[in-house]
Structure 1
Amino acid sequence: MSKSDFFETLWARMAQQGDFPTLQYCVDNIFKTLNADLTVGEMATSVLSDFSLSQKVIRLANSAMYRSFGGEVTTVSRAILVLGVEAISHLTLGIQLLDYFHGVAPNRPQATRALQRALVAGEITRALSQARGINEGEEAVVCTLMHHMSRLLIVFYFPEEWERVEAMCAAHPMTENEACQEVLGVSMVEIAEAAARKWRLPGLIAHAMKPRALSTDTVLETHADWLAAIAQVSAQAAATMVRDGNQASVEALLLSHAKVLGLDASDVSVAVRQAEVLNASIVESESPAQDAATLAHGARPDNVLERLRQGIAEVQREGAGRTVSQLAPMVLESSMRALDFSRCFLMMLNPSTRHFHARLGFGEGMRERLSALSFEEGFVPDVFHFAALASKPLLVEDTTDAEVARRLPRWYRDAIPDARSILLAPVRIRNRCIAMVYGDWGTARAPAGLGEAELETVDELMREIAAGVLRAAPAQSPSR
């Protein structure tokens, strides 16, 4: 097979299975995020459009490597505030790259081993970076995962050829790269570089996939050199760990490169222990994909009231020094998670135009709907104006009821036609509604047992937004 034939076949097989467009969209969207000056709310909106992804971001933010930041992270919004937009962007890309291969994985041992090596290598890189206090840890993880792309692509799209590569490596003293060149007419490095170009990855990440000869005398002169080196060393360590599980061998390998990478022996010990825990959990599970799915879809919280109070405590702890644009996503997301909303959005009053406009929304499809969600402050007999006048949140249990249906404004029905139950929570300052939080449960009814105590606690959460507005403009009043 010629090199051009190989790549033509690879891209065609990815396109036929419908995999490539989805991954390309994820990559484009994330690097667009990195190149933009996004607010916490905008970044949170991007992550929260995918429930599974948001759960994994929160789980990683609560892992041992980030606990030094203090306090449990229960929302994506706080994870972004704590770790930063860039770290969350790279973390998100790493998750989606792995999810992509989980989603198209055939039930084959080769696929499981390839994913296991990628997962363990990423964990080693993450742990080494965090132990040393290196801020670009998640960027390094992405580089490490991309270091495994060529192997993953061959395993998934050329399974028979990969079996031949493995057989040649077992029978002859040759590397995977050499065997790949002989079987497919292209090296693994060339596959990785072509994938980087195809997916329009930044040059820094693409550069990290090139193998380097590392010795005790090697001097890493640029950040790109360091990224490439830690990706390569982590990949070698992961291969050793997955192959024979010998923790001492893994630690010895990492220690031999520690000085070149700027690491201490204690950093290596921490990383090996952390990676070994992950490796053992993968071995015990049926597959990495099943493990990820189980973790992503946890049980719905039983105690809504407790979750709401936890959200209030987190907002109060984090919110004192935050702007309204940083505080609002935390309040909105806390409401969403506690009440199990399918969709929610925050509307803010523009005093000069006397119109409410949706500024922030979480849930599937909300980003595209925001521009259509707007209403005038002047009274109209509909549910949004009734809620704006109310002293506490308004729960509409059945929008299909004839009397309720006629109180749903057209702009809302056009934008969100399928919500069965909705909650509208006003944010009030000096007897004027200056913002409103909306939430729904999709086509399902509101959860049973949502009573006065829960609604009062939602109102308490809304008062945190009001307090943030007052802190930002203490001398101003929301006069008409």
Structure 2
Amino acid sequence: MHTPDAPNADKTLDLIWERIRQRGDLPGFTKAISAVLGAMHGEEEREFNMTQTVMSDPGLTQKVLRLANSAMYSAFGQSVGTVSKAVAVLGTQTIGHLALGSKLIDELSATAPDTVGARLEMEKALLAGHVARQVTSSANRHHAEEAVVCSMLHMLGRMMVAFYLPDRWLQAQQDSEKTKRHPDLVAQEILGLSLEEIGRTIAQRWGLPNSLINSMRMVEPMALAPNEKIPHAEWLAAISSMTSQCASALCQDDASSDTEILRLADAYAGMLGIDTAVVLKATESAKKTAESELRAIHSTKHSNAEKRSRSKAVSVEPAAVSILQQGVTDMRAIVDSATPSQMLEMGLETLYQGLNFRRAIAFLRNIKEAQYSAKMGFGAGVSALIPQLIFHDVYQADVFHAALASDRIIFVENAQDPKFAAKLPLWWQNGLSAATGFIILPLTINRQPVGFMYGDWSNVAPNTKPNSVEFILLNDLRALVTGTAERRNTTTTFSAPATH
């Protein structure tokens, strides 16, 4: 590995950090991925954290559901309609890589670099990601999303220098043309360290997983013995090396492009365990997809806000019954294998989406501490509220204890009615009093309350009383949640995450 010249290397990195402070990180990527990385690194709570992270982004939600229902995962059987089930089917690592790739693509697509060089490098990164997805999908590999992220990050050093140090980047390109030497080698002499080293240094600063950072290196193709396979880490580095070079070749747009892509496909196919024909077909398909996407980006970038506003004004909310039915179907499909925590999460998500709640929160009872406390939730500001939502389990004359004691769903149409105030406990008034209406779904095992699901509306979300069909589905939903825990013969199997 190259040992950088300390003075030039330090000055280059210091200048990049300074430009980042001035202009913002690439651009805002660190903020976008922090929640994803947190969910990937978590322990017991990671599945719910990932669900919460995905659901905060409607575009990402649709990508996750499409992937879960794709042919690659068709062996899992029934359709997937909730993010919670998608997380259970695909796993947090696959969805985490999909989220990272999606966030990076969104940030690159939304960026308008000041220079042609920076824009070209970002478009190459997008193209490399498309090539990786097409290649792995065509070969039916289950590491597609990880390969996409690695392929885009392979270009990170080039993107960062072109974006934040455009003068140095231009100098490297010009010197390369004069000396007929590779631009990366010229850039290394100018910057004091290689573009790979810059990319890995920034990735480490972002806190990306080591598996991704380790893939950010050029791996030369090598011949393998029959049936020989390379370790997964080497496979990621190899496919990233191939896709980044394919992207550069595609951007040349001259007669040598096809020849170079054929050479790369022949060189890497055996090492990757993929046929040359698959690589060539996937590369061509990726080029068309990327060209279409980039045209759309450039033509709509300045009118997106207006279109979103117009679309929102005429959009119609999906029918509650349809969403509730799909959620209950998803829960039934995995009831024999899911944990009580997973079922609680899926049930809460279904309520949140189906009844268009402003907030949906699950409370669990701790018998030893004689209290109920919030454990998970969806909606704006819920994470900050959860630690505050605690109350004693001794019966009080309020609407929540009434629901728990009767084991019946209670719908409160007007929580702001002064006549109803006496039935609202202090903990609700302190944390949830902005709600104009709410529903309580008690969870009971062997006639003993173990918790409840709560959802509320505000003035901007109509709190229409659920109809009879919806009430049937709500009762089915809570029966599935409690039934899973009951079969485990203990209420302590609800190992929901603590606070977020």
Aligned mates of 2:363, 2:468 — CA distance in 1 = 23
* Gap change, CA 1:101 and 1:61, over 3 Å in 2: same
Q: Give 5+ residue unaligned stretches, structure 1.
A: none
- Equivalent in the alignment of 2:239: 230
Measure how far apart 1:400 and its partner are: 3.1
Aligned mates of 2:196, 2:352 — CA distance in 1 = 44
- Equivalent in the alignment of 2:318: 302
What amino acid is the match of 2:274? L
What amino acid is the match of 2:180? P
- Equivalent in the alignment of 1:319: 335
1:333-412 counterparts in 2 under 5 A?
333-389=349-405, 392-412=408-428
Confirm or deny that 1:258 pairs with 2:264: no
Asked if the contact 1:102/1:288 (under 8 Å) is kept, the reply is no
- Equivalent in the alignment of 1:9: 15
Aligned mates of 1:321, 1:102 — CA distance in 2 = 40
Asked if the contact 2:150/2:240 (under 8 Å) is kept, the reply is yes
Q: 2:82 aligns with which of 61, 75, 87?
A: 75
More displaced stretch, 260-269 vs 81-90: 260-269
* Gap change, CA 1:358 and 1:342, over 3 Å in 2: same
- Equivalent in the alignment of 1:116: 123
Post-superposition CA distance 1:181-226 (Å, at most 9, x none): 4665553223212213322434443232222332547998543322
Post-superposition CA distance 1:402-460 (Å, at most 9, x none): 23444332223333453333232223445554331112345523355754433332232
Runs of 4+ in 1 over 6 A off after TM superposition: 217-220, 245-249, 291-295
Q: 1:458 aligns with which of 471, 474, 489?
A: 474
Q: Give 5+ residue unaligned stretches, structure 2.
A: 1-6, 493-500
Aligned residue pair count: 475
TM-score of the pair, normalised by structure 2: 0.80
Aligned mates of 1:60, 1:163 — CA distance in 2 = 40
What amino acid is the match of 1:6? T
- Equivalent in the alignment of 1:330: 346
Asked if the contact 1:349/1:356 (under 8 Å) is kept, the reply is yes
- SS class of match (1:302): coil
Aligned mates of 1:14, 1:247 — CA distance in 2 = 37
More displaced stretch, 326-335 vs 273-282: 273-282
Aligned mates of 2:157, 2:147 — CA distance in 1 = 18
Q: 2:25 aligns with which of 14, 19, 25?
A: 19
Aligned mates of 1:395, 1:223 — CA distance in 2 = 53
1:17-96 counterparts in 2 under 5 A?
17-19=23-25, 23-24=29-30, 30-39=36-45, 40-50=47-57, 53-63=60-70, 65-96=72-103
Post-superposition CA distance 1:79-102 (Å, at most 9, x none): 211111222222222233334444
Measure how far apart 1:259 and its partner are: 0.2
Measure how far apart 1:51 and its partner are: 5.0
Aligned mates of 2:184, 2:110 — CA distance in 1 = 26
Aligned mates of 1:72, 1:37 — CA distance in 2 = 27
Aligned mates of 2:208, 2:441 — CA distance in 1 = 42
- Equivalent in the alignment of 2:3: none
Confirm or deny that 1:415 pairs with 2:431: yes
Aligned mates of 1:171, 1:77 — CA distance in 2 = 56
% of aligned pairs identical? 28
Aligned mates of 1:220, 1:126 — CA distance in 2 = 20
Measure how far apart 1:257 and its partner are: 1.3
TM-score of the pair, normalised by structure 1: 0.82
Measure how far apart 1:336 and its partner are: 1.7
Aligned mates of 2:258, 2:356 — CA distance in 1 = 42
What amino acid is the match of 2:487? R
Aligned mates of 2:280, 2:478 — CA distance in 1 = 46
Asked if the contact 1:421/1:440 (under 8 Å) is kept, the reply is yes
Asked if the contact 2:158/2:195 (under 8 Å) is kept, the reply is yes
What amino acid is the match of 2:13? F
Measure how far apart 1:309 and its partner are: 1.0
What amino acid is the match of 2:429? R
